[in-house]
Amino acid sequence: MTTAPHVISLFDEPASRSERRLADLPDRVTEGDPHHKVGMHFTSPDGKLSAGTWTSTPGKWHAFTDKDEYCYIVSGHCALIHEDGTRQDFKTGDSFVIPDGFRGFWEVVETTTKHFVIRDTAN
């Protein structure tokens, strides 16, 4: 008999942690020197769905593609800027979805922490 999984709180300790300087990814950063900390709370067995907590220092970079992402801003101020120039700002308590196909930029105005759920849509 197998045990059913437990509900996972994104406020609990993550299963794993990582850090990176985003400028280490070629041609990604357009302003500043953002550093990211990620606490992974969940990854599905097929690797297509993940959930965790992310913190970034200020900067601006090309948004990642090939995924749908739900975000809840725990603290801070950030913006998503569509390639057509449309800007949407988000602050503490805001939530939003970035659909696969979004083309544009992330801008962290002040250090931001978010909870996220990502569905990888890449082959």
Please check whether residue 48 is in contact with residue 119, taking contact to mean a CB–CB distance below 8 angstroms: yes
Model confidence at 29: pLDDT above 70: yes
The pLDDT assigned to 65 comes to 87
CATH code, domain with 81:
2.60.120.10
The pLDDT assigned to 5 comes to 76
Number of domains comprising the chain: 1
d(CA 51, CA 106): 19
Residue range 3-7: mean pLDDT, rounded? 76
Question: In this predicted model, what pLDDT tens digit does every residue of 43-62 receive, in sequence order?
Answer: 999 999 999 999 999 999 99
87 occurs within a structural domain: yes
11 occurs within a structural domain: no
The pLDDT assigned to 98 comes to 97
pLDDT tier for residue 122 given thresholds of 50, 70 and 90: confident
pLDDT tier for residue 123 given thresholds of 50, 70 and 90: low
116 occurs within a structural domain: yes
Strands (E), the chain: 16-21, 29-32, 35-43, 49-56, 59-62, 67-82, 87-91, 95-98, 104-120
Model confidence at 2: pLDDT above 60: no
Domain range enclosing 47: 24-120
15 occurs within a structural domain: no
Question: In this predicted model, what pLDDT tens digit does every residue of 46-103 receive, in sequence order?
Answer: 999 999 999 999 999 999 889 999 999 999 999 999 999 999 999 999 999 999 999 9
5 occurs within a structural domain: no
4 occurs within a structural domain: no
Model confidence at 1: pLDDT above 70: no
